[in-house]
Amino acid sequence: MTARAILMLVLDGISDRPCRSLNGKTPLQAALTPVLDKIVSRGSCGIMDTIGPGIRPGSDTSHLSLLGYPPAQYYTGRGPLEAEGCGIHMKKGMIGFRCNYATVDTNGIIIDRRAGRIHETRSLSAAIEKSVDLSRYGITLQFRSGAGHRAALAFHGEGLGADISSNDPKKEGVVPPPVRPCSKKARDRKTAAACNEFIQQSRVILDEHEANERRRHRGEPPANMVLLRGAGEMGHFEPFSQRYGLSGSVIAAATLITGIGSVIGLSRVEVPGATGSVTTNLQGKIAAAIQELGTKDFVLVNIKGADEASHDGDARGKKEFIEKIDESLAPLLTLDDCLIVVCGDHSTPCEIRDHSADPVPLVIYGEGVRADRVTTFDETACAEGGLHRLQGISLMPILLDLINKAHKYGA
């Protein structure tokens, strides 16, 4: 018997390095993970460089690679993908940006890059989209909220480029720099000027908005500044259904991941309570995935909370969230006719609070898979498995072969 469908479960930022606060163990090694260990004991394991050895992957480039879309060919910047994930339909040639709502003081100095991790920004985004006027540049814009403090911006117009800098200094205590062109091309100069005009106009709108007045009254930091980064020009993505002959869905709270799913034609599945943080509705995501597998050939599920804990340097919190993930996965053990793939997209060591090039653990479980001798799911145990060490771009061909959808090379 051969499995019919594929469930790809990407545990965002799950992989780590030894942590002093966990007695030299990684959060994954320190966590109690009986369900993952059971999957591993029945599956084939390995470690994976989602891009390549020594290359620190972004969540965007790593997911493209895992889905079999070579980033060197398809990646034009994170902005267009975030915009798609926020509900902006990106057409070829449009310029997209990923954005943060931030807090600046009366001197324009950033005091919080995430505006107190604000969670409700739709009224702010609507006010910006309605009132910012870039007609002098021949530009129409769309601005939409994402999860939490995140948002996305899209420009549509003639003669626009994406080779520009960011106004996000990636730290607090400084004034955001102006956006500058990174080339001498007129198209990049035009986009940079439009960005600075957008930032100036949006700041006035946000300062006067009633939602920020209420936040100030409650002693919360106002979301009174927009930080732009990740500019990119929308390109062309071959539809997933044409590339592989499979129907598919994406389940994720992160707008970047739903955006990637959207641009390749995966159906987006909304799950109530999915937040992209450690408070996310894990059971709801797994239940939605199982339901989708009833009608779809491929389902991508991204769970991001461990990555958030890593960026905060919270090794114990990451360990505890991994244990919650494991508990939520129990229903997967009863699935029939399905390959279950569990992996990370990149390592995010708590000690450095950023992505690293360390390979991530991988397990493939299901009908036809040759089980190896690995019995625990972690960064070092999986290295002894039958899949050995592979690159992310190789994963989809392996999965297609296991469900008997691969094409023969040669006669």
Cα gap 158→117, rounded to integer Å: 35
The CA radius of gyration of the chain, in Å to the nearest whole number, is 22
Q: What is the pTM of this model?
A: 0.91
- Give the helix ranges, DSSP H, for 264-330: 282-292, 305-311, 315-328
Q: Residue 92 carries which DSSP code?
A: T
Tell me the two tokens of residue 95.
């310029």
| Per-residue CA distances from 2 to 6, 173, 408 (Å) | 11, 57, 17
235 backbone dihedrals φ, ψ, rounded to 5°:
-110, -155
Cα gap 308→371, rounded to integer Å: 32
Q: Identify which of 115, 177, 179, 125 has the alpha carbon closest to the alpha carbon of residue 152.
A: 125
Q: Residue 247 carries which DSSP code?
A: -
Torsion of CA 12, 359, 374, 9, to 10 degrees: 20
Tell me the two tokens of residue 7.
């469930």
Q: Give the pLDDT confidence score for residue 36 in this predicted structure.
A: 98
What kind of architecture, by CATH, is found in domain 5-69+236-402?
A: 3-Layer(aba) Sandwich (3.40)
Q: Which residue has the tokens 């709270």?
A: 253
Are residues 57 and 355 in contact, defined by beta-carbon separation less than 8 angstroms?
yes
| Per-residue CA distances from 199 to 79, 100, 110, 178, 195 (Å) | 16, 12, 14, 9, 6
Cα gap 213→201, rounded to integer Å: 18
Tell me the two tokens of residue 350.
């708590």
Q: Give the pLDDT confidence score for residue 119 in this predicted structure.
A: 85
38 backbone dihedrals φ, ψ, rounded to 5°:
-70, -40
Q: In what order do the strands lie in the sheet with 298-303?
A: 267-268, 248-251, 298-303, 5-11, 338-343, 360-365, 44-49, 388-391
CA dihedral for 350, 351, 354, 358, sign (positive or negative): negative
Helix (H, G, I), strand (E, B) or coil at 139: coil
Q: Give the pLDDT confidence score for residue 411 in this predicted structure.
A: 85
Residue-level pLDDT, tens digit, the chain, 411 residues: 799 999 999 999 999 999 999 999 999 999 999 999 999 999 999 999 999 999 999 999 999 999 999 999 999 899 999 999 999 999 999 999 999 999 999 999 999 999 998 988 999 999 999 999 999 999 999 999 988 899 999 999 999 999 999 999 999 999 999 999 999 999 999 999 999 999 999 999 999 999 999 999 999 999 999 999 999 999 999 999 999 999 999 999 989 999 999 999 999 999 999 988 888 999 999 999 999 999 999 999 999 999 999 999 999 999 999 999 999 999 999 998 999 999 999 999 999 999 999 999 999 999 999 999 999 999 999 999 999 999 999 999 999 999 999 999 998
Q: Residue 264 carries which DSSP code?
A: T
Tell me the two tokens of residue 99.
């954005």
Q: Identify which of 280, 381, 407, 406 has the alpha carbon closest to the alpha carbon of residue 43.
A: 381
Measured from the Cβ of residue 34, the count of other Cβ atoms closer than 10 Å reads 12
- Per-domain boundaries in the chain: 5-69+236-402, 82-233
Cα gap 156→70, rounded to integer Å: 26
Are residues 86 and 255 in contact, defined by beta-carbon separation less than 8 angstroms?
yes
Q: Which helix (H) or strand (E) holds 101?
A: strand 95-104
Are residues 215 and 222 in contact, defined by beta-carbon separation less than 8 angstroms?
yes
Q: Which amino acid is at 348?
A: T
Strands 225-233 and 95-104 turn out to be antiparallel
18 backbone dihedrals φ, ψ, rounded to 5°:
-55, 135
87 backbone dihedrals φ, ψ, rounded to 5°:
95, 10
Are residues 275 and 120 in contact, defined by beta-carbon separation less than 8 angstroms?
no
- Torsional class of 222: left (φ above 0), alpha (ψ -120 to 50), beta (otherwise): beta
